[in-house]
Each structure stands twice: as structure tokens, then as C-alpha cells.
């Protein structure tokens, strides 16, 4: 046990790091006693400094998984299998349902997080595989069978076949399973996390765009199409509407065709309503008695049997 003293805790830590020849990040420091000043003299500070044991990338990933499994209350123990070209970790558990998840969603998420922890501070990425009860091996075999079966279907139909969205690890399995095929090729499309694999047959059929309009110029209801795709009118061409010419000189102003107005008519106001539209219906001055004017077409009040107006 390495214990160092000083006037203060910081002085004791500085002295201990210098003597051990390590940095603060590489040391585990425990303050045993803070320095105190008394009326007569002082009490020195004491600290314990130990050099941290440097863990490998796989050991750090295992330590992380131990804490993660405790948080999700999963009864499993992570064990580091090997750490060479890739880091392989096995989750030992009796009940694998809550660890693997539907189509491996849970174990895939743990694998991604463990890979991020293991590659912290590394310049080159190192692959991390988290497995449980040989799930990866069984899943790989299933994907290879599915890839071969769908490739045969694509060749038979002459069409592209699209697989369900997969993670990068499973997409690589599909690509590698059909890499040496002489009949199909594969490519990935879409964006994460919905990126998927498409199997393309080399005998891919091309379909021309079908013209739905019949060649005889008729539509589906037996009607002829006119110019520009429009239907011809049922009753022929529309006749032009005859233009109305201005009246000749000398045309009476009361004929209804004159655009002039008689300003001598009583009650006429320029710019206002002159009392009639169209053809003149009568002249009150022609058929009425002297001193009396009647409005043309207007009914007159009738007298009742008693002589009063109704």
C-alpha cells in the first residue's frame, strides 16, 4: 500500500505521482486524511495512490455489459471468449428470451454499445460480437437459406426481390451468401435503420409503359377523341353569335336599338335610370286626355262597390 503525506492533500498527491512515475489518469487515489492546522503545529494529509490496472478492450466491454445487464434486470453473465482479430463475448443465461429479443433486437443493441465502449480511444475499429446460446450461428444459417431461396425466386420471375430491413451484420451475410452467384447480384438500399438488401436477377425483365388509349382513336366508352385528347362535341361545331351593329342614322330613339337617350322626357336624369328598358311600351302623351298622364302597362286602382279604393 502506497501512502504519501503532505501539508495538504494536493501536496501529498503530487509527491506520490512523482515518486511512482505515473500520471493522475493512471492512478487510483484515496484521501485517507485531510491536512489540518492546529493552534500548536499541524496534522499532515495522507493519501493512498495505486497504479490502475490497464484493462484490455474486451475486458472493458465485459465490464460495461455487467453493469448494463444489472440495469435491465437480466440474469446473465458476460464472458470474454477471445480477443484477437475480433472481440467475442458470450452471454451465459438460462432464459434467453429477455436477452435476445424479437429477431435479436436486444442482443444487437447490446452488441452496438459494447463495440462503442471497446473502441473508445482506438485508431482502428475492432469488431465486437455479443452472442448468447449460439444465436448468431443459427441466425446466420437461416439468413443464408433465405438468401438462396429468394435468389431462385428472383431468377424465376425475372424481377427484383426486396428483403426486410436488417442491420449491417445481417446484410453482410446476405451479400456474402450470393457473392459467387452467376445469376443474381445484390445491393443495399434505403437509410438506417430501415436499410435493406435487394436481389437483382441478371435476366431482369424490362416492362414498357402501356398506352391505354385504343389505336382507333376511341376511348373506353366508344366516344371519338378530338384534337388534343378532348372529346368531339356531340352536336357539332358551335356557331358564332351574331354581332349587334349600331343603328343607322335616323332610327327612332324609341325602338329600343338606339344608344342615345331622349333627354327631353320628363323625369330623365343624366347618368341615372330613365324609367324603361328595351323596346318602348307606349307613350303616355299619345293615348291620354289632356292634362293627364298614365304610365304604360301600369294597372289603375279600381273602385269597390262602396266607392272606396281597395
Look at domain 136-201 and name its CATH class: alpha beta
**Same CATH fold assignment for domains 57-133 and 136-201:** no
Q: What percent of the chain has pLDDT over 70?
A: 65
The more confidently predicted of residues 100 and 97 is 100
Q: What share of the chain is helix, strand, coil (3-state, %, to 5)?
A: 30, 20, 50
Q: Out of 74-78, 168-172, 210-214, 302-306, pick the least confident.
A: 302-306
Model confidence over 170-204: pLDDT tens digits? Answer: 999 999 999 999 999 999 999 988 999 999 999 88
In the predicted model, what is the mean pLDDT of the chain?
76
The pLDDT value recorded for residue 4 is: 85
Q: Answer yes or no: are the C-beta atoms of 117 and 89 closer than 8 Å.
A: no
Model confidence over 39-71: pLDDT tens digits? Answer: 666 778 888 888 777 788 999 999 999 999 988
57-133 is classed CATH 3.30.300.20: yes
Total residue count of the chain as it appears in this document = 310
Give the torsion sign (CA, 249, 250, 254, 257): negative
Q: Answer yes or no: are the C-beta atoms of 114 and 120 closer than 8 Å.
A: no
Query: Per-domain residue ranges for the chain?
Result: 3-51, 57-133, 136-201
Residue 293 CB: number of other CB atoms within 10 A?
A: 10
Amino acid at each position: 500500500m502506497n501512502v504519501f503525506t503532505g501539508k495538504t492533500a494536493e501536496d501529498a498527491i503530487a509527491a506520490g505521482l512523482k515518486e511512482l512515475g505515473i500520471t493522475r489518469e493512471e492512478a487510483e487515489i484515496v484521501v485517507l486524511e485531510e491536512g489540518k492546522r492546529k493552534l500548536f503545529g499541524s496534522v499532515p494529509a495522507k493519501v493512498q495512490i495505486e497504479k490502475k490496472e490497464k484493462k484490455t478492450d474486451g475486458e472493458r466491454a465485459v465490464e460495461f455489459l455487467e453493469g448494463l445487464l444489472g440495469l435491465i434486470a437480466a440474469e446473465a453473465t458476460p464472458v470474454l471468449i477471445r480477443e484477437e482479430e475480433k472481440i467475442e463475448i458470450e452471454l451465459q443465461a438460462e432464459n434467453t428470451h429477455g436477452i435476445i429479443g424479437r429477431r435479436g433486437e436486444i442482443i444487437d443493441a447490446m452488441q452496438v454499445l459494447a463495440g462503442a465502449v471497446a473502441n473508445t480511444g482506438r485508431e482502428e475499429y475492432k469488431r465486437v460480437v455479443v452472442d448468447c446460446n449460439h444465436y448468431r450461428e443459427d441466425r446466420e444459417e437461416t439468413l443464408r437459406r433465405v438468401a438462396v431461396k429468394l435468389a431462385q425466386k428472383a431468377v424465376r420471375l425475372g424481377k427484383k426481390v426486396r428483403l426486410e430491413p436488417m442491420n449491417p451484420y445481417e446484410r453482410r451475410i446476405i451479400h456474402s451468401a450470393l457473392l459467387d452467384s452467376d445469376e443474381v447480384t445484390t445491393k443495399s438500399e434505403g437509410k438506417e435503420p430501415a436499410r435493406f438488401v435487394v436481389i437483382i436477377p441478371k435476366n431482369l425483365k424490362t416492362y414498357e409503359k402501356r398506352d391505354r388509349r385504343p389505336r382507333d382513336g376511341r376511348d373506353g366508352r366508344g366516344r371519338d377523341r378530338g384534337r388534343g385528347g378532348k372529346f368531339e362535341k356531340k352536336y357539332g361545331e358551335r356557331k358564332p353569335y351574331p354581332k349587334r351593329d349600331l343603328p343607322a342614322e335616323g332610327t327612332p330613339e324609341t325602338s329600343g336599338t338606339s344608344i342615345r337617350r331622349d333627354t327631353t322626357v320628363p323625369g330623365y336624369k343624366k347618368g341615372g335610370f330613365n324609367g324603361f328598358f328595351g323596346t318602348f311600351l307606349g307613350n303616355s302623351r299619345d293615348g291620354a286626355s289632356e292634362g293627364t298622364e298614365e304610365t304604360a302597362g301600369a294597372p289603375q286602382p279600381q273602385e269597390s262597390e262602396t266607392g272606396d279604393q281597395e
